[in-house]
Amino acid sequence: MKPQSATAFDAELLARHDRPGPRYTSYPPATAFTPEFGPGHYLAAARDSNADPIPRPLSLYVHVPFCLSPCFYCGCTRIISRDPARSELYLDYLQREIELTAPLFDRDRRVLQLHFGGGTPNVLAPPLLARLMQHLQQHFRLQPGADVEAGMELDPRSCDAVYVETLADLGFNRISVGVQDFNPAVQAAVNRLQSLEQTRRVIDTARACGMQSVSVDLIYGLPRQTLEGFEQTLRDVIALAPDRIAIYGYAHLPQRFRAQRRIRTEDLPDTALRIALLGAAVRLLGAAGYEHIGLDHFARADDALVKAQQRGQLQRNFQGYSTHAACDLIGLGMSSISHIGASYSQNERELSAYYAALEAGRLPVARGLNMSPDDLIRADAIQQIMCHARLDIAAFEARHRLDFRSRFAGTLRQLAPLAQQGLVTLSPGQITVTPAGRFLLRVIALCFDNHTAPAAAAAVPLSRAI
């Protein structure tokens, strides 16, 4: 897929399609998970995954839910606490979960990816983190090294250079740094005061420690954002030279996320400004040599994501885009999501329920689903659109032994108006997303989604496409 050019940005088209939809970090989306899926189903999925002729390597996600203070825009599953004893207790339970989970997977299956997310994973003090890493290595075939992607999401407000050095010593080789916006007025409106200096210190230390990849998260659509202010943030971030930049659109869902009720609706940018903010990002990042991977992700031309996309090996998962195909994902910790074979499952989302399950010696799986044959086919189609912005119909038919036109007649009907509007081109052999359509991959993917009807998407609390 060719890199995105800034000229493909079509504000009018984006405004017309600014409506809710899933982010397709999974298909079916997490809204389709049900409580009928429990620990027994997880055990069966793990057993089946070991029986594959070529068992897939493993990817571990560890969720640390604690944060020191609430950012008002936040939609993550997190617990505000300044009590280090709570992290220590959590670690005890996490270790129990590791002890229950690891034996379900054959020991010769290597861990190729390790990601700590949250919450704020760096609330784990270095001795706790070292203890957890040791426990993971004791129970999984995990040997941190250059060929293992080991990353952590960092909050520079509570993370110093020594912490980053500790991460490097423990084998972490990538960090993801939350920034959102450097403008003081925006930071005050979202209760996240974070200086450029704090951020630079973390990133420079990671570089000095030889970390392979630094990524920065920004958000557009926050209260009190202005075009000038956001452009300055972009210039500041570009000067920090991260390898990857993710620019998420703020989803204001105060009925679902309590902290967002602290944001004044009148402070939010309107649709025109949201699109102008995104346009500024596309323009400035493009001029600085970043390529548009898709949706809200940008990366430097020499980054592994860009290369994976060029080789046709890019994947979409719960961390956004990934270079690792075909790993089974094991989620550890409260609310974490696993993707084992053709199953998705999510752990208990309340700390008390998560602890209670582990005290009873049970896996804390609360809900999930086994993908149907139809889900597997549609997931492949959505993956092609989200990662490669095209779907080769002949190759797809050969992979799934089906007649695309009859199987996806309804999808093609939904795509026809999008083709007229210039989001996709439809030819007998291929569906191709246009450069302008690459900002609306979610809208295009929705046409393949059998779980989220377009009308329903407007009724349930999903984030906006822009």
Q: Is 254 in the site for ligand SF4 (CB under 6 A)?
A: no
Q: Considering only residues 78, 244, 316, 464, which one is a binding residue for ligand SF4 as defined by CB under 6 A? A: 78
**Residue 90 CB, nearest distance to ligand SF4 (Å)?**
15
Give the dihedral sign, CA 201/333/76/276.
Answer: positive
- Of residues 71 and 102, the one with the C-beta less far from ligand SF4: 71
**Residue 65 CB, nearest distance to ligand SF4 (Å)?**
8
In this chain, which stretch among 56-64, 73-81, 269-277, 396-404 interacts with ligand SF4, using CB under 6 A?
Answer: 73-81
HSE-up (13 A, CA, CB side) for residue 15: 12
Angle value at C-alpha 34, between 28 and 37, nearest 5 degrees:
105
The number of residues that bind ligand SF4 (CB under 6 A) is 11
- Of residues 159 and 214, the one with the C-beta less far from ligand SF4: 159
The strand pairing partners of 367, in sequence order, are 346
**Residue 257 CB, nearest distance to ligand SF4 (Å)?**
10
Q: Is 64 in the site for ligand SF4 (CB under 6 A)?
A: no
Residue 131 C-alpha from the chain's centroid: 26
CB neighbour list of residue 70: distance below 8 Å, 6 or more residues apart: 78, 80, 191, 259
Q: Is 76 in the site for ligand SF4 (CB under 6 A)?
A: yes
Q: Is 251 in the site for ligand SF4 (CB under 6 A)?
A: no
- Of residues 259 and 381, the one with the C-beta less far from ligand SF4: 259
- Of residues 118 and 286, the one with the C-beta less far from ligand SF4: 118
**Residue 370 CB, nearest distance to ligand SF4 (Å)?**
30
In this chain, which stretch among 35-43, 44-52, 118-126, 357-365 interacts with ligand SF4, using CB under 6 A?
Answer: 118-126
- Of residues 76 and 253, the one with the C-beta less far from ligand SF4: 76
- Of residues 45 and 67, the one with the C-beta less far from ligand SF4: 67
**Residue 82 CB, nearest distance to ligand SF4 (Å)?**
13
Q: Is 13 in the site for ligand SF4 (CB under 6 A)?
A: no
Residue 303 C-alpha from the chain's centroid: 17
Q: Is 253 in the site for ligand SF4 (CB under 6 A)?
A: no
Distance from C-alpha of 408 to C-alpha of 412, rounded to nearest angstrom: 6
Q: Considering only residues 29, 118, 121, 364, which one is a binding residue for ligand SF4 as defined by CB under 6 A? A: 118
Q: Would you say how long the chain is, in residues?
A: 466
Q: Considering only residues 119, 223, 286, 437, which one is a binding residue for ligand SF4 as defined by CB under 6 A? A: 119
Q: Is 332 in the site for ligand SF4 (CB under 6 A)?
A: no
Task: Please say whether the beta carbons of 59 and 113 come within 8 A.
Answer: yes
**Residue 77 CB, nearest distance to ligand SF4 (Å)?**
8
Distance from C-alpha of 444 to C-alpha of 307, rounded to nearest angstrom: 24
- Of residues 257 and 353, the one with the C-beta less far from ligand SF4: 257
How, if at all, do strands 79-80 and 66-67 pair? Answer: parallel
Q: Is 389 in the site for ligand SF4 (CB under 6 A)?
A: no
**Residue 199 CB, nearest distance to ligand SF4 (Å)?**
13
Distance from C-alpha of 386 to C-alpha of 27, rounded to nearest angstrom: 11
Distance from C-alpha of 127 to C-alpha of 143, rounded to nearest angstrom: 19
- Of residues 141 and 262, the one with the C-beta less far from ligand SF4: 262
The strand pairing partners of 294, in sequence order, are 297
Query: Between residue 175 and residue 214, which ones bind ligand SF4 under the rule CB under 6 A?
Result: 178
**Residue 118 CB, nearest distance to ligand SF4 (Å)?**
5
Q: Is 154 in the site for ligand SF4 (CB under 6 A)?
A: no
**Residue 287 CB, nearest distance to ligand SF4 (Å)?**
28
Q: Is 155 in the site for ligand SF4 (CB under 6 A)?
A: yes
Q: Considering only residues 67, 218, 295, 446, which one is a binding residue for ligand SF4 as defined by CB under 6 A? A: 67
Q: Is 243 in the site for ligand SF4 (CB under 6 A)?
A: no
In this chain, which stretch among 69-77, 139-147, 269-277, 405-413 interacts with ligand SF4, using CB under 6 A?
Answer: 69-77
Question: Which positions lie near ligand SF4, rule CB under 6 A?
Answer: 67, 70-71, 74, 76, 78, 118-120, 155, 178
